[in-house]
Amino acid sequence: MTVNNVDIYILEPDDLFRKIIYRTIKDIKMDAQINIYTYADGYEFIRDVKGVDNFALYIVNDILPKKNGLEVAGHIRSFDNKSIIYFMTRSETEEDMLYALNLGVDNYFVKPLNLKLFQSIIKNRIIRGGLA
């Protein structure tokens, strides 16, 4: 089931890496309308995003200024239990991953990212409408 519209939120404090992630997603070719929103810190996102109308993907760095990724994940799950949250992290400890998964994070991308693999995963998730 392909969704018609998808909102993708990128929360990444590093300007260059945020632009790379944006461009990687923007280059996905498909029929769905992809709306991409970027944020440099968790507070800005929490202030601006109180709900979503479309299927959404959230790509969240676990370490963010002002409000960290775990606080952002909690905020997202307070209004959106159906969309997908991916964490980007350098941490591969089981304890950190389990804690985030129990807060509602759906999966992890461990940095450094393989951008082609990242792009393919995001495209497949959009095609399946987050249901796979």
Boundaries of every domain in the chain: 5-127
63-121 pLDDT, tens per residue? 899 999 999 999 999 999 888 999 998 877 788 788 888 888 998 888 888 999 999 99
The tokens of 108 are what?
Answer: 């992890």
Element (H, E) at 44: helix 42-48
Between 56 and 1, the higher pLDDT residue: 56
| Amino acid identity at 114 | N
Q: Tell me, what's the pLDDT at 17? A: 95
| Contact by Cβ (8 Å): 63, 13 | yes
Strand partners, 59: 10, 86
16-33 pLDDT, tens per residue? 999 999 999 999 988 878
- The domain covering 5-127 belongs, at the CATH homologous superfamily level, to Response regulator (3.40.50.2300)
pTM of the model: 0.89
Q: Which residues, 6+ apart, have CB-to-CB distance to 101 below 8 Å? A: none
| Contact by Cβ (8 Å): 13, 61 | yes
